[in-house]
């Protein structure tokens, strides 16, 4: 395929390191820290690695290699790439751009939350370590006392959440300021395109590994760390019989690599065409998965410490009750001999022990208290940090790490929006790139204000569940079909030979032609079926709920469910619409040509040829 003038004038990375760090930073996001460990925990520990690695090899890496290669060869953004392969596939690029835009709205809101916690981490003591006083200064706020200081700070002082989705609430000014700060930082890093991104990723893509290593060293010295790691990695082979495990493994590796967003295609389009994109794909994919596993170790060592701390606190409460009830000298009953004392007293005075209503303290129960996403980052982990010596330092490091992960992922999301718009020549020539980027960031900020409402967290969960799921699977399926079966595996192999110096081996070809599209189709169908059979509900934080502080599980209102369907379908509606539009243009063009040939006017040919512009057909 011949290089276009646009491709020749396209900017390039300063060096290979900047490109690889940018791709790694885009792929490695907050999900590697708070989603993968959770899946390992609930799906049999080490056993989950089997379906995860299978999905990586046969689904993740082939898709990643395909995107990096096609972007590097055609040197265009997502819309330009798929429109070049076939005008009928132009909607695939549009879908990627729309998904990137929608995802960037809520993803940068998460970055704003991280910034809010980071700002508050410099306080002594940490604001989520104790309940605030009530308005009369006569006691503590009742909602905080009934729940926990950590929950209160998250739900009330951060989100000021409403009791249900139908109550919107007002804009929270502190969240608006945090969101504006997040978008301003993204804009500053993106102001000169890959020139400034390439410099920023030296920090944003590498700093999380430094923090994870510091956490790893510290976490392994904490009491309970060993129990946390044993719990995480002890394999439960029986759970592999559950189809849901394989489905979640496939979707996790797919979303973790950030394929189908268009950002990776845009990043690779700034490469020289003589670049080994196969090696790049394998390197980025392996580092991404290795990061997920590496992050799990300190995360669950710390969660093991939290479980151990809660277990000891529970036992000490029972020990105090027994000591007071039976006038036992202090320090006679300890955590180590509690079971013997309890069995002895329960055997001789069962009624008195029963009246004490002692708590059931089980370490396994505390370890089973799993959480993912915001629940892990802003509730479980922050609660664990409180108990760690030097809690301020660990809180600051943790949230700087999350901020770095979120920021580097935002680079890819924004690139997936801006590059296609530039390639389509939709940006006026008089408008500087800095101004256009500012307009997009400002528009995104204004639209993301919905997440700063009292009901914002509920809406963010809806966007996260629906925009970043089915649409990406559909886009990826069309991408791999487009390259392998429309562009042609033979032509694609020629392009790879031109770029890398060798043709793809049989493994890549089989994956592109059969295995990867088949896996994508199965995962897509299974995911849609599973969602259709699920009664969609959400967890609401309602202080008036009878079982508070448990969250109240409520069904989605019908109008919200309709929005969920729209969020899953509208981003990809461009795929059939563009194809139909191209087909209609093609048919109308042929119809005009037929009339031209049958027209008896000898001068009609000259006139019509001036009016008619044929539609390009692949």
Q: Which residues are annotated as a binding site for Na(+)?
A: 25, 27-28, 32, 256, 288, 405, 409
In this structure, the number of other CB atoms found within 10 A of the CB of residue 370 comes to 16
Q: What are the tokens at 95?
A: 């879908």
What's the rounded Cα separation, in Å, for the pair 419 and 426?
A: 10
What's the rounded Cα separation, in Å, for the pair 114 and 4?
A: 43
Q: Which among 45, 516, 513, 19 is positioned nearest to 254, based on CA atoms?
A: 516
What's the rounded Cα separation, in Å, for the pair 122 and 113?
A: 15
Cβ-based neighbours of 21, under 8 Å, separated by 6 or more: 201, 202, 205, 206
- SS3 (DSSP) at 360: coil
Strands 552-555 and 537-540: antiparallel
Vertex 132 angle, CA 131 and 134, to 5°: 120
Q: In Å, what is the CA distance from 63 to each residue of 7, 81, 220?
A: 23, 15, 36
In the chain, % helix, strand, coil (3-state, to 5) comes to 70, 0, 25
* Structure-token match 């004038």, residue found: 9
What's the rounded Cα separation, in Å, for the pair 369 and 153?
A: 20
- Taking a C-beta distance cutoff of 8 angstroms, is the pair 294, 339 a contact? no
What's the rounded Cα separation, in Å, for the pair 247 and 225?
A: 30
What's the rounded Cα separation, in Å, for the pair 23 and 40?
A: 25
- Taking a C-beta distance cutoff of 8 angstroms, is the pair 405, 30 a contact? yes
- Taking a C-beta distance cutoff of 8 angstroms, is the pair 397, 405 a contact? no
Q: What are the tokens at 183?
A: 């978008």
Q: In Å, what is the CA distance from 574 to each residue of 197, 447, 475?
A: 30, 21, 11
What's the rounded Cα separation, in Å, for the pair 203 and 226?
A: 32
What's the rounded Cα separation, in Å, for the pair 122 and 206?
A: 23
- SS3 (DSSP) at 542: coil
Q: What are the tokens at 47?
A: 């056993």
What's the rounded Cα separation, in Å, for the pair 291 and 102?
A: 26
Q: Residues in the chain, how many?
A: 618
Q: Which among 481, 552, 433, 522 is positioned nearest to 165, based on CA atoms?
A: 552
- Taking a C-beta distance cutoff of 8 angstroms, is the pair 214, 398 a contact? no
Backbone angles phi, psi at 406, to 5 degrees: -65, -40
Binding-site annotation, residues: 25, 27-28, 32, 256, 288, 405, 409
Using the 8-state DSSP alphabet, how is residue 140 labeled?
Answer: B
């Amino acid at each position: 395929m011949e290089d276009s003038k646009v491709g020749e004038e396209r900017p390039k990375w300063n060096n290979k390191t900047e490109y690889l760090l940018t791709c790694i930073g885009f792929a490695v996001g907050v999900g590697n820290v708070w989603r993968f460990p959770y899946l390992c925990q609930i799906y049999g520990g080490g056993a989950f690695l089997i379906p995860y690695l299978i999905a990586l090899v046969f689904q993740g890496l082939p898709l990643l290699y395909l995107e990096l290669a096609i972007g590097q060869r055609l040197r265009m953004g997502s819309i330009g790439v798929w429109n070049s392969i076939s005008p009928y596939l132009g909607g695939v690029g549009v879908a990627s751009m729309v998904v990137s835009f929608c995802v960037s709205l809520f993803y940068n809101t998460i970055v704003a939350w991280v910034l809010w916690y980071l700002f508050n981490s410099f306080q002594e003591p940490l604001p989520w370590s104790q309940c605030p006083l009530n308005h009369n200064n006569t006691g503590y706020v009742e909602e905080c006392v009934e729940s926990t200081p950590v929950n209160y700070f998250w739900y009330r002082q951060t989100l000021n959440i409403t009791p249900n989705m139908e109550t919107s609430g007002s804009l929270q000014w502190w969240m608006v300021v945090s969101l504006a700060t997040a978008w301003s930082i993204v804009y500053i890093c993106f102001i000169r395109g890959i020139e400034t991104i390439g410099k920023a990723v030296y920090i944003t893509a590498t700093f999380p590994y430094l923090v994870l290593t510091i956490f790893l060293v510290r976490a392994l010295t904490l009491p309970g760390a060993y129990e946390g790691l044993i719990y995480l990695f002890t394999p439960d082979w029986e759970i592999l019989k559950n189809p849901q495990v394989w489905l979640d493994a496939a979707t996790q590796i797919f979303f973790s690599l950030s394929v189908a967003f268009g950002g990776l295609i845009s990043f690779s389009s700034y490469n020289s065409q003589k670049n080994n994109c196969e090696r790049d794909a394998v390197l980025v994919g392996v580092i991404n998965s290795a990061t997920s596993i590496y992050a799990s170790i300190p995360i669950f060592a710390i969660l093991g410490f939290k479980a151990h701390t809660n277990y000891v606190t529970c036992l000490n409460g029972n020990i105090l009750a027994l000591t007071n009830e039976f006038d036992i000298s202090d320090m006679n009953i300890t955590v180590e001999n509690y079971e013997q004392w309890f069995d002895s007293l329960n055997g001789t005075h069962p009624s008195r022990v029963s009246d004490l209503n002692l708590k059931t303290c089980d370490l396994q129960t505390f370890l089973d208290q799993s959480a993912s996403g915001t629940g892990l980052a802003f509730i479980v982990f922050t609660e664990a940090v409180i108990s760690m010596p030097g809690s301020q330092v660990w809180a600051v490091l943790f949230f700087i790490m999350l901020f770095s992960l979120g920021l580097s992922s935002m680079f890819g999301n924004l690139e997936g929006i801006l590059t296609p718009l530039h390639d389509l020549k939709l940006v006026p020539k008089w408008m500087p790139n800095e101004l256009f980027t500012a307009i997009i960031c400002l528009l995104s900020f204004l639209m993301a204000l919905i997440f700063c409402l009292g009901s914002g967290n509920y809406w963010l969960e809806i966007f996260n569940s629906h925009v970043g799921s089915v649409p990406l699977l559909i886009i990826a399926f069309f991408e791999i079909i487009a390259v392998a079966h429309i562009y042609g595996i033979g032509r694609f192999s020629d392009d790879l030979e031109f770029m890398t110096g060798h043709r793809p081996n049989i493994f890549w070809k089989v994956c592109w032609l059969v295995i990867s599209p088949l896996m994508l189709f199965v995962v897509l169908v299974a995911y849609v079926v599973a969602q259709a059979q699920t009664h969609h509900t959400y967890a609401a934080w309602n202080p008036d709920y009878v079982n508070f502080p448990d969250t109240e599980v409520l069904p989605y209102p019908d109008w919200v469910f309709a929005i969920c369907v729209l969020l899953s379908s509208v981003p990809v509606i461009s795929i059939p619409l563009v194809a139909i539009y191209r087909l209609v243009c093609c048919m109308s063009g042929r119809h005009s040509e037929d009339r031209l040939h049958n027209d008896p006017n000898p001068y009609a040919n000259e006139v019509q040829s001036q009016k008619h512009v044929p539609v390009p057909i692949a």
